Amino acid sequence: MPVADGGEGPGTGVAGILDGAEEIFTIYRYPLYGYLRASAMGHEDAQDVLPGFFIKMLSNDSLGSADSQRGKLRSFLVSCLSNYKNNWRRSEQCRQNKIRPEADLSDADEARFKREQLATLETPENYYDRRWTAELVNRVRRRLAHQFEKRSRQDLYAALARLLSTETPENETLIEIATRLRLTGKALRVSLHRLRRDFRDLLIQEVQRTLAEGEDVKSEIQHLLGLFER
C-alpha cells in the first residue's frame, strides 16, 4: 500500500511504501537535505546532490527493487544517499577550485536549516532521524485534521490538537474550550481521549509502513520519540 493513499490498514513493510515515489520524495526531501547539510555539505552542493540522487533512484528502479530484507526505508534511503554523496564528492574534486557565489538564503530548505541550527549539535544521522520523525508526526496530524474536516468538525480539532502532547491538561483550559465549543466537560474529555487514541493508531500505521517484516513497531516509535528527549 503506498504512503500516499492514506488508507487505514497497515502496510506490509518496506515494499508497501514503494509505489508512492512522489510521496516518498515529499516526506523525505527535507530530512535528507538536512542530512547533507549536517554532513558539512554546502547549500548549493546539497541542491545539486539531492535531485540527482532521487533521479538515480527512480531511473535505476532502486525503490521498486527494495524489499523487506533491506530493513527500514528510512535507513535504506539515508544509506544510499551517503554512498551517492561520497561518489559525487569524488567525481567533483575540481569544484574545490571554483569560486562559488553566496548561497541563496531565501531558499525555504536552507532558511529552515539555518533557523533550526542543529548541524553542530548532533550527528548528521541523528539530525536526519529527528527531522524525519517530525515530518511523520506532521503527516499524522494532517490525516487527523482531514478526518475532522470530513465531519465538519475543524473547530474541535483546532481546539484539541494542541493538547495531543499534554498528559494532563489543566481543568481551566478544558473548561474554556468546552464553553467556546458549547460542549459539556465530559463530552470534551471524551473527544480528547478519542483524538489521542486515533493519533496513536495512525502513528503506528505510518511507522509500520516503513519497517521490515517482523520489526517491532512500538520499539521503533519509542526510539524515534526518544530522539527528542536527548
CB atoms within 10 A of CB 66: 21
Q: Residue 201: pLDDT above 90?
A: yes
- Residue 154: which residues within 8 A CB-CB, separation 6 or more? 145, 148
For residues 11-18, average pLDDT: 36
Separation of alpha carbons 182 and 93, rounded Å:
66
Higher pLDDT, 88 or 21: 88
The pLDDT mean for the chain works out to 76
Q: Which of 11-25, 38-52, 80-94 has the highest mean pLDDT?
A: 38-52
Residue with the larger pLDDT of the pair 42 and 121: 42
Asked if pLDDT for residue 70 goes beyond 50, the answer is: no
Q: Quick one: pLDDT at residue 38?
A: 87
> Does the pLDDT value for residue 125 go beyond 70?
yes
Is pLDDT above 60 for 102?
A: no
More confident residue, 51 or 101: 51
What's the confidence (pLDDT) of residue 120?
A: 52
pLDDT, residue 172, reads 62
The DSSP call for residue 118 is -
Give residues with Cβ within 8 angstroms of 86, minimum separation 6: none
The string of pLDDT tens digits covering residues 86-98 is: 888 877 765 554 4
All three cell numbers of 72, joined, read: 527500514
DSSP secondary structure of 154-207: HHHHHHHGGGTT-SS--HHHHHHHHHHHT--HHHHHHHHHHHHHHHHHHHHHHH
- pLDDT of 168 above 90: no
pTM (two decimals): 0.62
Q: How confident is the model at residue 200 (pLDDT cuts 50, 70, 90)?
A: very high
Q: What percent of the chain has pLDDT over 70?
A: 71
Report angle CA 18, 59, 44 to the nearest 5 degrees: 95
The pLDDT value recorded for residue 65 is 56
